[in-house]
Amino acid sequence: VKVVVVALGKVGLPLATAFAARGHDVVGADIDERVVAAVNAGRAPFPNEPGLEEQLATTPVRATTDTAAAVAQGPELVVAVVPLLVDDAGTPQWEALDAATRAIGAGLQRGTTVALETTVPVGTTRSRFAATLAQASGLRATDDFAVGFSPERISSGSALRDLATYPKIVGGLTPADEDRIAELYEAGLGVEVRRLGSAEAAELSKLVETTYRDVNIALANEFARHADTLGIDIGPVIAAANSQPYSHVHRPGVAVGGHCMPVYPRFYLAGDADARLPGVARDVNEAMPAYAVELLRRQLGGDLTNARVLILGVAYRGGVKETAFSGARPLRDALTQAGATVVASDPLYSDDDLRALGFTPADGAPADGAIVQADHAEYRTLTPHDLPGVRAIVDGRGILDRSAFAAAGVAITGIGTP
Ligand SMILES: NC(=O)c1ccc[n+]([C@@H]2O[C@H](COP(=O)([O-])OP(=O)(O)OC[C@H]3O[C@@H](n4cnc5c(N)ncnc54)[C@H](O)[C@@H]3O)[C@@H](O)[C@H]2O)c1
């Protein structure tokens, strides 16, 4: 299969290498010259994706900044996975996806199949993506080119494994489009392909899987807050509840971040005016950073004025160099509002990176309190020696070795683990 993957980010690049690893002819297109140069040099442009560097070294992916020219070569399959970004209110910012769609349309040839993988509100593939492709190419969707939706479903940090193991879900504009897309993904990736009958059903499946997780985490967070008031550790309680097959409660935590989980429930809500749970769940999850600050305030004697507080981890989660909707920002803001001086550190970010992101880098001066925001593996072995001066810690991810801190007289609590 000849494939062009448009956008070589944390999703697109692993996908391109997965096609290449199976011997297919793959070209990747990205507007970022540094990304293209790195890929052409056989290097991953971002860290911490197991197997990706090795894969790029053994089965190279050719990369270009010219999407239209790559598509004009007449590949059988074009996959678009340019992220659909949103503003702070969760409203889609269509510019990047539209620009990529127009560039694909500008090169599109009769007989090519185009699949959108970017998570989008239901209806986008038909009314926006296919329509823009048709307009930019002068061709007719379905008659001249097949088009449909196939959600990317991977997690950064396990992208190649996820691509090799999760079923690929596909939905076409028409059954004929869907047949073509299913055939190409089956041949291209060699995984189970599940046909959902329409692009809209495939779009909805992605919103269902992510909204489910957000609502589930919100429920875990409510359980955790209640457990805090009861003085019960919620961890073993959830494990006990989950020890039969009908309970699947996730883990509570200080924040739900990243450009997926906080956003896709909003896409869902935009299409379902009657829905209540996803909106409530968003509110619950967005309140968690302030709750963590409240826990710290109580531990530090009820007042954070002039306290120096260290945020551990600005990445939205451990091991992933991404700060979209990271809990670090609401934590910083809530702490600042409470009168604290806030500093931050993160093993994935330099001091200059931190400053560019709006954080004051920790300089080793003693702090009064700390909040663990991201579950970086490095934090498992932190000791009181690494956090000079710290008297109280809220471990928002349950990753620290508590006994080490407790032994040194540091007050340490978690979310639902008093
Ligand atoms: N990273 C994850 O773990 C993850 C998980 C689930 C879903 N997603 C979703 O996957 C999609 C892709 O996200 P990502 O994590 O790969 O993003 P990313 O930020 O890692 O990469 C995006 C890439 O798109 C490129 N790009 C932007 N505009 C372009 C254009 N017009 N043409 C070509 N390239 C363009 C950028 O240069 C960048 O390299 C999004 O829908 C995202 O929400 C990501």
Distance 208 CA to ligand 1 centre (A): 20
How far does the centroid of ligand 1 lie from the alpha carbon of residue 405, in Å? Answer: 39
The closest residue, in CA terms, to atom 30 on ligand 1 is 100
Which residue in the block uniquely carries the two structure tokens 């190649």?
160
Distance 10 CA to ligand 1 centre (A): 6
pLDDT at residue 119, as a whole number = 97
Protein residues whose CB sits closer than 6 Å to any atom of ligand 1: 6-12, 29-32, 35, 67, 81-84, 96, 99-100, 118-119, 152, 154-156, 259-260
pLDDT, position 350:
98
Query: How far, in Å, from the CA of 243 to the mean position of ligand 1?
Result: 37
Q: How far is the CA of 165 from the centre of ligand 1 (A)?
A: 21
CB 387 within 8 A of CB 367: yes
Give the per-residue pLDDT at 4. 98
Q: What is the pLDDT of residue 101?
A: 98
Q: What is the pLDDT of residue 278?
A: 97
Nearest CA to ligand 1 atom 11: 83
Cβ atoms of residues 75 and 184 within 8 Å: no
Q: How far is CA 271 from CA 204, 207, 264, 315, in A?
A: 10, 11, 11, 30
CA 5 to chain centre: 19
The pLDDT assigned to 373 comes to: 98
For residue 210, which atom of ligand 1 is closest to its CA? 6
> Which residue, by CA, sits nearest to atom 8 of ligand 1?
260
CA distance readout (Å), 288 to 33, 119, 129, 169, 185: 38, 25, 36, 33, 40
Q: What is the pLDDT of residue 166?
A: 97
Nearest to 254 by CA among 397, 418, 400, 402: 397
Tokens of 263: 């956003």
Identify the segments of the chain with pLDDT beneath 50: none
Q: How far is ligand 1, taken at its centre, from the CA of residue 80, in Å?
A: 9
pTM score, whole prediction: 0.94
- Centre of ligand 1 from the C-alpha of residue 118, in Å: 8
- Nearest atom within ligand 1 for CA of residue 324: 19
From the alpha carbon of 6, which atom of ligand 1 is closest? Answer: 33
- Segment (H or E) for 28: strand 25-29
| Three-class DSSP category at 131 | helix
